[in-house]
């Protein structure tokens, strides 16, 4: 199955929700008026896009309808797709990893797919000819290290690990040292996700980042927040919490092959100006793609 089909199939439930609601609105379509715009705004809000973003999309849509004299349902749909895509395209979604030894820090709450995404990203970068190393800085559970080891094998890259309970920042410190010695291009650091224990999470993440900053002041650094697309509105809270501790450079949206609520990402990107860099569409090593806003919107509506 091609990537687009996978995404489309995955977004099937999202599609049903946004598309179905949208079609309900258009099924009673008579003319383009305020009532129609109000109904569309409601659909957007119900699709987790967020009140502010939905209002702005509709306001732009209203202007376009006037300016372009749109009178048909299909024209409204097309303009709506366009406006949503514009939002998702506001920022650059490429990874900036130009320095020899650059670092990707992976953060996010429990179970969103951090470790899995690391495996997939490592695999991609290795295939692109980069030498990758992963650091098992989630020392919270022994199983976390074992899981990352399995992914490192799949991606064919080295791993730096310590015993369970070790200081995560010390794992990162050691990994940076080893990475420099062995000519690594990109170091990817796994972290433990715990939003409920926020203070600890903050301290631990800050410490890891201090080590990276101190050891590699001039290196390119990405801090990717992993978000499970099935969580809906809660994802907004996660972005807020992690933005307080880290300069998030991009999002990884996982589980879009599942019961996805992809709409939430439109609001997140709009309100935070953080681009989606990758999307996860399955549990296999190849099930990750660079985010493409056009495909994404086409799959949703
Ligand atoms: N269907 C699907 N499952 C995924 C995807 N990404 C991750 N998963 C699954 O989600 C579960 C959690 O993934 P992990 O990578 O362990 O998540 P994590 O964020 O590292 O979890 P913790 O280390 O416990 O915080 C696993 O069962 C993965 O196989 C995806 O894109 N699609
Ligand atoms: Mg993990």
Residues 269-296 pLDDT 10s:
998 999 999 999 899 999 998 998 888 8
The whole-model pTM stands at: 0.92
Which of 148, 238, 283, 289 best tests ligand 1's pocket when mutated (most atoms within 8 Å of CB)? 283
Please report the beta strands in 167-218, taking only residues with DSSP state E, as ranges in sequence order: 186-191
Query: Is 108 within 8 Å of 226 (Cβ atoms)?
Result: yes
pLDDT above 90 for 166: yes
Please, which pLDDT band fits residue 26 given cuts at 50, 70 and 90? confident
Q: Which tokens belong to 100?
A: 């020899």
Find the residues whose C-beta lies inside 6 A of ligand 1.
Answer: 108, 110-116, 138, 144, 193, 254-255, 257-258, 280-283, 287
Q: Which long-range contacts (CB under 8 A, 24 or more apart) does 15-22 make?
A: 15/299, 15/300, 15/301, 17/46, 17/47, 17/261, 17/263, 18/43, 18/47, 18/263, 18/300, 18/301, 19/300, 19/301, 21/46, 21/47, 22/77, 22/301
Question: In angstroms, what is the span from residue 220 Cα to ligand 1's centroid?
Answer: 26
The confidence score (pLDDT) of residue 276 equals: 94
The confidence score (pLDDT) of residue 197 equals: 64
> What span, in angstroms and rounded, lies between the C-alpha atoms of 114 and 192?
9
Query: Is 187 within 8 Å of 176 (Cβ atoms)?
Result: yes
Please, which pLDDT band fits residue 11 given cuts at 50, 70 and 90? low
Maximum Cα interatomic distance, the chain, rounded to a whole number of Å: 69
> Closest ligand 1 atom, CA of 112?
19
The confidence score (pLDDT) of residue 10 equals: 66
Query: Is 258 within 8 Å of 279 (Cβ atoms)?
Result: no
């Amino acid at each position: 199955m091609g990537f687009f089909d996978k995404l489309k199939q995955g977004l099937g439930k999202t599609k049903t929700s946004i598309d179905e609601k949208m079609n309900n609105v258009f099924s009673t379509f008579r003319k383009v008026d305020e009532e129609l715009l109000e109904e569309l705004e409601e659909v957007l809000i119900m699709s987790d896009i967020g009140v502010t973003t939905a209002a702005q999309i509709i306001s732009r849509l209203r202007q376009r309808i006037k300016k372009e004299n749109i009178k048909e349902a299909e024209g409204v749909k097309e303009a709506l797709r366009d406006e949503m895509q514009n939002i998702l395209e506001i920022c650059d979604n490429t990874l900036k990893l130009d320095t020899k030894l650059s670092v990707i820090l992976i953060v996010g709450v429990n179970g969103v797919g951090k470790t899995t995404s690391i495996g997939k990203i490592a695999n991609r970068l290795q295939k692109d000819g980069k030498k990758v190393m992963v650091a098992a800085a989630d020392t919270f559970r022994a199983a976390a290290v074992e899981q990352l080891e399995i992914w490192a094998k799949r991606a064919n890259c080295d791993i730096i690990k310590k015993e369970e309970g070790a200081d995560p920042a010390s794992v990162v410190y050691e990994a940076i040292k080893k990475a420099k010695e062995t000519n690594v291009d990109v170091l990817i650091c796994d972290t433990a996700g715990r939003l409920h224990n926020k203070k600890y999470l903050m301290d631990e993440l800050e410490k890891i980042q201090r080590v990276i900053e101190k050891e590699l002041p001039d290196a390119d650094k990405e801090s990717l927040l992993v978000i499970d697309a099935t969580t809906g509105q809660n994802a907004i809270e996660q972005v807020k919490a992690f933005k307080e501790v880290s300069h998030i450079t991009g999002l990884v949206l996982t589980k879009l092959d599942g019961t996805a609520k992809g709409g939430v990402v439109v609001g997140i990107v709009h309100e935070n100006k953080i681009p989606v860099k990758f999307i996860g569409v399955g549990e296999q090593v190849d099930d990750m793609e660079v985010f493409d806003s056009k495909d994404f919107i086409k799959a949703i509506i």
